[in-house]
Amino acid sequence: MKLPVIPVKGDEKWELLSKVLDKLEKRETKKALARNKITPVNKAIEFLKTIILAMFFELEISYAVSEVNKRYELRSS
C-alpha cells in the first residue's frame, strides 16, 4: 500500500518543493523552454512539476499523477 501525498504547510520538505516549483513559473524559465523548442510551454511546465514531485518524494510518476488528480491541494501548488 502506498502512502498518500498530503501537502503540509510548515513542513520543510514541502516548503523547499514549493520554492523549486515556483521557479518553473518564472518568465525566464518559460522563455528558456520556448527557446529550446519545448512547446507548448504551459503543458511542459505541468509535466515538469509532476516529474519533480515524483522525484522529490521518490514516487512512481504514474502514482504521482494519480495523487495530483485526486487531491486539489496538489493541483493548486
Q: In residues, how long is the chain? A: 77
Classify residue 76 as exposed, middle or buried by CB count within 10 Å of its CB (0-12, 13-18, 19+): exposed
Residue 2: all three cell numbers together: 502506498
Determine the average pLDDT of the residues in 56-77: 83
Considering only CA atoms, which of 51, 45, 50 is closest in space to residue 26?
Answer: 45
* 1-57 per-position pLDDT tens digit: 576 777 777 888 888 988 999 999 999 999 999 999 999 999 999 999 999 999 988
pTM, two decimal places: 0.81
Lookup: cell for 22:
515556483
Q: Is the Cα dihedral 20, 54, 5, 45 positive or negative?
A: positive
